[in-house]
Structure 1
Amino acid sequence: MIIFLVLMIVLLVGIIIFQVRVKKQQNASIQYMHQKLQAIINEQSSEKILVPTANQELQQLLIAMNALLDHKQRVLATHRKMESSMKKMLANISHDLKTPLTVVLGYTEMLQLKQSLSEEEQRRLLKGIHSKSLEVLKIIHTFFDLAKLEAGDTDYPMTKINVNEICRKNILSFYDMVTSMGLEIDIAIPEMSVYAFGNEEALDRVLNNLLSNAVAYGAAGNIIGLTVRDDDTNIFIDVWDRGKGIDEYHIDNVFERMYTLEDSRNKSFQGSGLGLTITKRLVELMGGSIQLSSIPYEKTIFTVSLKRMTY
């Protein structure tokens, strides 16, 4: 009996010692997790917390903490990207506003200081002031249009729209300008009308932006085109050219706000860097998508996809 009691006491002491050790290990693990988490937060590092443990509760806690750290890294990366984008946007808008405003100031100073200007010269200067003022206004409107789109503060009611007619109307609005530049136009629009779920005003603006882009960047190919095609569920609008195209390096970035190609800051290709961003937002607003493929001097195609309506 005494031997049995001694064995029980030894067993209980062993269990207590084991539990004390386990408790110390858990406390050490928790302390390490706390210190490591604090270091990761202070240093803004992308490390994870790794602790070997058989305790299921600690394992679940580690999984949750590392998931939160992953989320934090994604949020920080998005924030940094947006911050960089905003800085670039402000720099580009400042550049685009500064140029016409400098011209306006120059013209107004000439009108004020040179009293001997003829009526013809005065009219020329006033015309220049008016033109540059409209340019400034357009840049400001473009900036606020994007802000409204991204804030969801827009009024584009969705309905059934005739894609054929909208495409014909928009390509015809460019016809005189394109032919005066000596460019060919290739139009492939089906005779039978096809209808999509969307908004006519939004699609007008999308096509205007894409056709303007094709004329500005694709003129070297001597041809621009517009094709409408469809399948059982979608309608596709291709706006294409055979100009210098867009390098593969830039393709993933052209729809980002204020992303402009190197020569788009030149006078011949003046742009705010917002046109394609607004285009993408408008297409997405209509429940569609837009894709870009480009082989320089062979074919560059912007493809808008909208949901087809058959009733």
Structure 2
Amino acid sequence: MNENTVIFFLSAAVAALFFVILYQRYKFKKDLYTKLRQITEKLSEILETGSDEKVMVFTDNKALIGLVEQIDRLLEDRQKIKVDFKRAELSSKKMLSNISHDIKTPLTVILGYLEIMRLDNEDDEALKKVEIKAKQVMELIGQFFTLAKLEAGDADIPISRLNINEVCRENVLDFYDILLQKRFTVDVDIPEKPIYVLANKEAVQRILFNLLSNAIRYGSDGNYLGISLREDEKHVFINITDKGRGIDKKSAAHVFERLYTMEDSRNREIQGNGLGLTIAKNLAVQMEGDLFLDSAPDVKTTFTLMLRKADSESFFERNS
């Protein structure tokens, strides 16, 4: 074997070794990229669904194994925090419900005695004021109790098929005298053709009562109340509009939060307790609907109640 042949074989061996090294590096990088992509996709799935799964990857790469172990530790800690938070939240809601019940009982007794004293004409004016305040506290406790039950998932809200046109008309008529007394311009846009929703009548009436009374209370400087009813393929929308001072953008972001009141725009005489809209929103969501706000200060404010639409054929007849 001459010198040229030896050089040729050595060159070929070096080239082959170089090719093998390049291929191994390419394969290593490709495998590493594939494993990292699998880890990323699985982690994203776990975070989106909120499941208690762990990230699993089959590899001999010690660095990747260590990374996955640390990710799984973080996921375990996250799951524990989630469970602890839910437990604390449930405990808080149950405590609120119990407190509401414990306060409501003695107040009921007090109101009973006040009624007896009024019948005996004992300082009637003073007793009347005490009775009014006691009833206000009773109403507040009742709202706390309702909200606690809603948030704890203990509220019984059976769903039925309702003619929402009639429900809207009935609720507007309930305010007829006060609207007339306050000289409101009333704009009612409710179609003659019946529109049916899947909802709870008492819950819808409570929501509408809150929205209509708020529109009268806070929109009195605009002397306007509008109620309209519209529908699309899946939902029905009830719009309650007033032309009062309205709600600024900052307050609008918090208006459905419990105990939130807008002191800048409402004086103490008309300010509510900050629970009515929270309850209304919760009731809407419990019925698989929602409650929205759109307000342009000093122009108009509209609250929109969205409910599930029922087909012309009875929902319950089809599913019986």
Q: Is the 8 A contact 1:264 1:271 kept in 2?
A: no
Q: Distance in 2 between matches of 1:143 and 1:221?
A: 31
Identify if the C-alpha distance between structure 1 residues 56 and 285 changes in structure 2 by more than 3 Å, giving closer, same or farther.
same
Does the 8 A contact of 1:164 with 1:190 survive in 2?
Answer: yes
Does residue 1:226 correspond to 2:227, yes or no?
A: yes
Q: Are 2:160 and 1:152 aligned? A: no
CA contact (8 A) 1:149 1:281 kept: yes
Q: What residue is the counterpart of 2:209 in the other structure?
A: 208
2:68 corresponds, among 60, 68, 76, to 60
Deviation at 1:75, TM superposition (A): 8.8
RMSD: 3.2
Letter in 1 for 2:255: V
SS in 2 for 1:185: strand
What's the TM-score, normalizing by structure 2? 0.64
Aligned match of 2:239: 238
Deviation string, structure 1 residues 75-120 (Cα, Å, up to 9, x no partner): 999999x8xx99xx9xxx9xxxxxxx9xx9xxx9xx9xxxxxxx98
Query: What is the identity, as a one-letter code, of the residue corresponding to 1:61?
Result: E
Aligned residues: 231
Give the superposition deviation at 1:265. Answer: 7.1
Secondary structure of the residue that 1:287 maps to in structure 2?
coil
Q: Which moved more, 1:223-232 or 1:68-77?
A: 68-77
Q: Which residue of 1 aligns with 2:163?
A: 162
State the match for 1:301 in structure 2.
Answer: 302
CA distance in structure 1 between the aligned counterparts of 2:220 and 2:76, rounded to whole angstroms: 50
1:59 maps to a residue whose letter is: L
Aligned to 1:5: none
SS at match of 1:154: coil
**2:142 is aligned with 1:141:** yes
Letter paired with 1:58 = G
CA contact (8 A) 1:210 1:302 kept: yes
TM-aligned CA deviation for residue 133 of structure 1: 1.8
CA–CA distance in 1 between the matches of 2:227 and 2:80? 44
Residue 155 to residue 261, structure 1, CA distance change in 2 (3 Å): same
C-alpha contact 2:230 2:237 (8 A) present in aligned 1: yes
**Separation of aligned partners in 1, 2:70 and 2:269:** 57
Equivalent in the alignment of 1:6: none
What is the CA distance between 1:261 and its match in structure 2? 0.7
Deviation, 1:250, is 1.4
Aligned to 1:19: none
Aligned to 2:31: none
Q: Is the 8 A contact 2:144 2:275 kept in 1?
A: yes
Task: Give the SS at the match of 2:219.
Answer: helix
Contact 1:170–1:207 (CA<8 Å) still a contact in 2? Answer: yes
Question: How far apart in 2 are the matches of 1:175 and 1:237?
Answer: 19
Judging changes above 3 Å, is the alpha-carbon distance between structure 1 residues 263 and 197 closer, same or farther for their aligned structure 2 residues?
same
Q: Deviations over 1:38-85 (max 9, x none)?
A: xxxxxxxxxxxxxxx9611111123334445667888999999x8xx9
Aligned pair in 2 of structure 1 residues 301, 54: CA closer, same or farther (>3 Å)?
A: farther
Corresponding letter in the other structure for 1:262:
E
- CA shift in 2, pair 1:239/1:78, >3 Å: farther
Q: 1:264 to 1:78 in 2, by over 3 A?
A: farther
State the partner residue of 1:127: 128
Counterpart Cα distance in 2 of 1:161 and 1:142: 25
